[in-house]
Structure 1
Amino acid sequence: MSAQTASAPLPEGWREDNRAMWDERVPVHVAGKYYDLAGFRARPDVLRDFETAEVGDVTGKTLLHLQCHIGTDTLSWAHRGAARVVGLDFSAPAVEAARALAAGLGHGPERAAFVTGDVYEAAAAVPEPSYDIVYTGLGALCWLPDLRRWAETAAALVAPGGFLYLAEFHPVTEMLDDTTGTRIVRDYFSRDAQVYDLPGTYADPDAVTVHNRSVEWQHTLGDVVSALAATGLRIEFLHEHDVSLFPRFENFEIRDGYHRFPADHPRVPLIYSLKATKG
């Protein structure tokens, strides 16, 4: 099956509602324990071990982070040796927080730049036309209805000889019940918009919030791979991981720094990662 976009009309105001939701949550994330910015300033590297192993040495390379939020992952690549990192996000408060974090760590915009822009219009917002590495991290693709347009935009920003690296939550998890992850309760192939009205945030479920409407989309693994392959990028690998970064299911345990199912639970892919190169 070829890559698909959302199969129903887009909900009215989806982009504005999503932006308002994220804008409101930035101060909660900046001040809270989840992102622990005080700890990050002391040890500015929050990248996952599989990411650093799969991306490899970034020394001297340029890196663009699409949908960067408050910039902790972006700046972690700088501290891993990238010559220049650029982060893009559609939330102006998130970009301001990222700039402040970078400045506090001694990075000027020539080393770590953050810009506000819609990911679909990234080429017009970022300072350089292409980058050695285009990176997008966990929890990004669900906010985008048009996967093919995202793939075309991201691929166009990869410099010749460079690559796109994607780490994302596995869509299989969205099929399963939220308690034990043992029952299939949702349609894997659904591409309709999922509209939520939920207070709080994954970083602080008890936070008092007003802008609670959000709109998300589910993308199958086949859709992601097909969308990137259609751009001409060469898929180098697709890896699946049985770890998560948050307690997605109620029976999760923390082992080796990751959220996981209990040891006697059948293993389920929780995250996938992908590398696609430009010849």
Structure 2
Amino acid sequence: MAENQDFLGEVAANYLHVNRQSWNGRVEAHLQSEFYDVAGFLAHKNSLKSIEQDLLGEVKGKEILHLQCHFGQDTLSLAHLGAVVTGVDLSDKAITAAQELAHQTQLQAEFICADIYELPQHLHQKFDVVFTSYGTIGWLPDLDKWAKVIAHFLKPNGRLVFVEFHAVVWMFDDSFQKVAYNYFNDGAIVETESGTYADRNATITQKYVMWNHPVSDVLNSLIRNGLDINSFDEYDYSPYDCFRETEEFETGKFRIKHLGNKIPMVYAIAATRKA
């Protein structure tokens, strides 16, 4: 047991390397998946869901920083809507795929490969909006550093639009039969996964490191770093079919079959940097 704990501790300490490899290993499967439907994206050029679109509002002409952008579909969706957009991701293979997708769509966007904690060393401008969504903060150990980066890049009165899977979801095992993890952040979670949320049958196996973050930690990190919370909303569905045991109860809205509307699955925060 001691050796196992030492091994897990070593993996967690090298989380950036481990997670970069993990996401690099997912990119090709994601590009080929029905979940991301690249062919459909090339036709319609908008992968944004209504939750974030409603919060973002009119984006034409706005300078937007998209954190943890994966291979850039949402980034390019913002460009298609008229924004001047920069996407950032830890995975070099995802950034390469994003640049290729930009070429295919003939949409303009800048893509940067970087750990977001180090982003101020690589990017020297301010933005009207910082946007980040769905499965992002769980890859980060320190939310105060995350919020500090957001505040750094926002212009005075600039807005954060943040949509994320609810912390309650991450308490459950994969089949949503039992509570398997702490709601609160009690340290790194090291897991090995076969397949991927976008394709359960993909022939890949990845080790990764994550952290659970209670909603109070999210809100307080933003408040401590000079952001005013304008709205906080919770949703009893996910717009993505990325969990096991789901059912589509309305078009584009998914719940865990045996839990229905009993748990929150997504939350959304809009916040403004103080002038």
**TM-score, structure 1 normalization:** 0.89
Counterpart of 2:143 (choices 127, 132, 147) is 147
Larger fraction in helix: 2
Q: CA deviation at 1:138?
A: 0.5
Q: Distance in 2 between matches of 1:48 and 1:120?
A: 27
Q: Distance in 1 between matches of 2:30 and 2:60?
A: 29
Q: Distance in 2 between matches of 1:236 and 1:46?
A: 25
* Superposed CA offset, 1:158-181 (max 9, x none): 111211111000001122454456
* Superposed CA offset, 1:216-245 (max 9, x none): 000000000000000011110111111111
Q: Distance in 2 between matches of 1:263 and 1:196?
A: 25
Q: SS at the partner of 1:164?
A: strand
Q: CA deviation at 1:69?
A: 0.4
Q: SS at the partner of 2:245?
A: coil
Query: 2:68·2:136 contact (CA, 8 Å) conserved in 1?
Result: yes
Residue 179 of structure 2 is aligned to residue 188 of structure 1 = no
**TM-score, structure 2 normalization:** 0.90
Q: Which has the higher contact order (CA 8 A, sep 6+)?
A: 1
Alignment of 1:68-217 (within 5 A): 68-82=69-83, 84-107=84-107, 111-126=108-123, 128-176=124-172, 178-179=174-175, 184-210=179-205, 212-217=206-211
Which residue type is aligned with residue 143 of structure 2?
L
CA 1:251–1:34 in 2, change beyond 3 Å: closer, same or farther? closer
Residue 237 of structure 2 is aligned to residue 243 of structure 1 = yes
Which residue type is aligned with residue 234 of structure 2?
E
Name the residue aligned to 2:5. none
Q: SS at the partner of 1:26?
A: helix
Q: List runs of 5+ in structure 2 lacking aligned partners.
A: 1-8
Counterpart of 2:270 (choices 250, 260, 275) is 275
Q: List runs of 5+ in structure 1 lacking aligned partners.
A: 1-7
Q: CA deviation at 1:266?
A: 4.1
Q: Distance in 1 between matches of 2:214 and 2:122?
A: 28
Query: 2:245·2:256 contact (CA, 8 Å) conserved in 1?
Result: no
Query: 1:261·1:267 contact (CA, 8 Å) conserved in 2?
Result: no
Q: CA deviation at 1:63?
A: 0.4
Query: 1:191·1:219 contact (CA, 8 Å) conserved in 2?
Result: no
Q: Distance in 2 between matches of 1:62 and 1:77?
A: 10
Q: CA RMSD in A?
A: 2.0
Identical-residue share of aligned pairs (%)? 37
Q: CA deviation at 1:263?
A: 9.6
Name the residue aligned to 1:14. 15
Q: Distance in 2 between matches of 1:101 and 1:74?
A: 10
Query: 2:197·2:242 contact (CA, 8 Å) conserved in 1?
Result: no
Q: SS at the partner of 1:252?
A: strand
Q: CA deviation at 1:54?
A: 1.3
Query: 1:242·1:269 contact (CA, 8 Å) conserved in 2?
Result: yes
Q: Distance in 2 between matches of 1:247 and 1:207?
A: 14
Higher deviation after alignment, 194-203 or 213-222: 194-203
Aligned length: 265
Query: 2:236·2:261 contact (CA, 8 Å) conserved in 1?
Result: no
Q: Distance in 1 between matches of 2:38 and 2:99?
A: 13
Q: Distance in 1 between matches of 2:187 and 2:272?
A: 30
